[in-house]
Structure formats: structure tokens, C-alpha cells
Amino acid sequence: MRFLIAASVLILGASAALPEEYTKKVLKKMEEVGTKCSDQEHATPDDMAELISHKFPPTSHEARCVLACFYKELHMMKEDGSFDKEATVKSFDEIKDLDAELHGKILKVIDACEAKMQVFDDPCESASSMATCVVTEMAAVGLTKEAFLGSS
């Protein structure tokens, strides 16, 4: 479920400055949510492979719905598909004390994507738009998946 970390941006924050215990806790949560959402949305292995390879926006509707489920489960997206900035920022409060520089970059990504967020009638399309923005804005502030996942 590593794609979920990059897709959500910042939920993980597994940089070298973050404690291993914190990283393990977040990875466990990400895996639980990812598995639930993959099953709930009937994602195929091809859907998941596309997400794992960080292909955004995903081509299948099921893959896009995995993202919507993920964001909703983590309270980053409201049921109507709109972005929940307050809850998203709050979800990164713990990182603030662990790595202030990383937290600052995360807030920049959140602000940029809030400004660019497109809300569609289909929450899966909104989630796809959000994930695409997150990946783009992470790169813009110098956050790579390796910053969150280590070199594995």
C-alpha cells in the first residue's frame, strides 16, 4: 500500500528525522485503510499496480475510488468530495513537533492543493484531482516519495 503514502502526501512523514515508532504506526494505519479501500472499491491488481507506480491521475474509476475512500477514511475529504483542510492540517499536527521543516513543507502542499482543488459530482474524480495535485506539489517543495518511504 505504499502508493497511499505518496498519494495522501504527507500522512506518513517517514523522513530520517521522524522516529521509527511513529513511522511504523502510520504505515500500519495506511495499510489497514488501503486494504479496506481496495476491497471496498473492488480494485483489480492492475488498478493497484497503477497506484503503486504513482501514475496520477489513475486511469480506472476503481483506482480513483480507492483514493476517495482513502481520503475519506483519513478525514481529508468530506462525503461530497470536497477537501477538508482543517482535518487534513490537524492530521499532521504530530509531525510539527517531530520535524518542523517537514511540517512546513506539508502545509505548503496542503495550501497549494486547496487553492487548486476541483470538486466534481463524482467524489472519485475529486480524489483523483487531489492526488494529482499532491504529487505535483510535493515535487515542487522538494518532497519525494523517498523522503517519506526511505530508500526501500
CATH number at residue 42: 1.10.238.20
What span, in angstroms and rounded, lies between the C-alpha atoms of 111 and 89? 10
Task: State pLDDT tens for residues 46-105.
Answer: 998 888 777 888 999 999 999 999 999 999 999 999 999 999 999 888 888 888 888 999
pTM: 0.82
> Looking at the domain assignment, is residue 121 inside a domain?
yes
pLDDT at 24: 82
pLDDT at 3: 40
pLDDT value at 147 more than 80: no
DSSP code for 11: S
What span, in angstroms and rounded, lies between the C-alpha atoms of 124 and 61? 7
Q: Which residue has the higher pLDDT, 76 or 149?
A: 76
Give residues with Cβ within 8 angstroms of 6, minimum separation 6: 54, 134, 135, 138, 145, 148, 149
pLDDT at 95: 86
Task: State pLDDT tens for residues 2-38.
Answer: 344 444 434 443 344 577 788 788 878 888 998 899 9
The mean per-residue pLDDT over the stretch 92-119 comes to: 90
pLDDT at 152: 39
**Residue span of the structural domain in which 96 resides:** 2-147
> Looking at the domain assignment, is residue 152 inside a domain?
no
> Looking at the domain assignment, is residue 48 inside a domain?
yes
Instruction: Extract the C-alpha cell encoding 93.
Output: 499536527
Give residues with Cβ within 8 angstroms of 23, minimum separation 6: 12, 13, 14
Instruction: State the amino acid at position 39 in one-letter form.
Output: D
Give the count of beta carbons closer than 10 Å to the beta carbon of residue 92: 18
> Looking at the domain assignment, is residue 130 inside a domain?
yes
Number of domain units in the chain: 1
Alpha helices in the chain (DSSP H): 2-8, 20-40, 45-52, 61-73, 85-91, 93-98, 100-116, 123-140, 145-149
Residue showing cell 479496506:
36
